[in-house]
Amino acid sequence: MIDVKNLSKSFGKHLVLDNISEHISPGEKVVVIGPSGSGKSTFLRCLNLLEEPSGGSITFDGTVITDPKTDINKIRRQMGMVFQHFNLFPNMTIRKNITLAPVRTGLMKQEEADETALTLLKRVGLEEKENSYPAQLSGGQKQRIAIVRALAMRPKLMLFDEPTSALDPEMVGEVLEVMKELAEEGMTMVVVTHEMGFAREVGTRVLFMDGGKILEQNEPHAFFDAPREERTREFLSKVL
């Protein structure tokens, strides 16, 4: 589904991603972990070109998205993204937050989008918040809405950038629950997170990044029970 070849990214002289090649297949739940500054968020943001790669290529469903001629808006419609700080639009109601993109991109008519919004909101138990504004919601509620907003575009793939890092501890569970359900439905997911429990339980593959490289990757049980690299062991001993 996504094919990354020799991806590099530098900010000025600082090399953040160092020649990464990786393949993500449909249905995979790839969990990316690593210390801060390891480049994991930048890697994720390169996948939908929120960061412009400095080198290498990314292919999504056969389209080379790093090609300047590619219409990136069309590609992004098929990739949902959830941010650490939710980034709901504070000037709109929840319903408008969810329906804006499907309607403006011509994916749905307003009525259809409203129905989709309601169905999705019911799924995350927030249908009564339809006419509220983001400022009236808790962090956990905001993040569940942000997931719904991305899902309303019917994406083929979901990218999560530390979705629970800005939440109060008691709200982490409700967001992970939604993500877990999504995973069970077969959604392809790439998740940058510090939630090792989630990585172990939901992930089909764990990537460990450090210094702009993927140092080690494995199926989650093997990864956590028997890490091969010294650096991975050191990291896991600190976070587990």
Residue 150 makes contact with other proteins by CB under 8 A:
yes
In the region spanning residues 120 to 149, those forming contacts with other proteins, defined by CB under 8 A, are 132-133, 135-136, 146, 149
17/149 Cα distance (integer angstroms) = 29
Residue 166 makes contact with other proteins by CB under 8 A:
no
Which residue carries 């939908």 as its tokens?
Answer: 48
- Tokens describing residue 191: 């998740």
Residue 188 makes contact with other proteins by CB under 8 A:
no
Nearer to other proteins, 73 or 237 (CB): 73
In the region spanning residues 20 to 49, those forming contacts with other proteins, defined by CB under 8 A, are 48-49
- Contacts with other proteins: how many residues (CB under 8 A)? 34
CB of 62 to other proteins, least distance (A): 18
Binding segment for other proteins (CB under 8 A), chosen from 19-27, 80-88, 112-120, 215-223, is 80-88
Contact assessment for residue 202 and residue 29, using Cβ atoms and an 8 Å cutoff: yes
Residue 154 makes contact with other proteins by CB under 8 A:
no
Closest CA to 19 of 11, 8, 9: 8
198: CB partners within 8 A, 6+ apart: 31, 176, 179, 180, 191
Edge-to-edge strand list for the sheet holding 55-60: 14-24, 2-11, 55-60, 63-64
Distances (CA, A) of 1 to 25, 64, 79, 110, 232: 5, 11, 11, 30, 27
Nearer to other proteins, 48 or 232 (CB): 48
Among 29, 40, 76, 205, binds other proteins (CB under 8 A): 76
Residue 109 makes contact with other proteins by CB under 8 A:
no
Among 17, 46, 65, 88, binds other proteins (CB under 8 A): 88
Q: DSSP class of residue 128? A: G
Give residues in contact with other proteins (CB under 8 A): 48-50, 52, 68, 72-74, 76-81, 83, 85, 87-92, 100-101, 104-105, 132-133, 135-136, 146, 149-150, 153
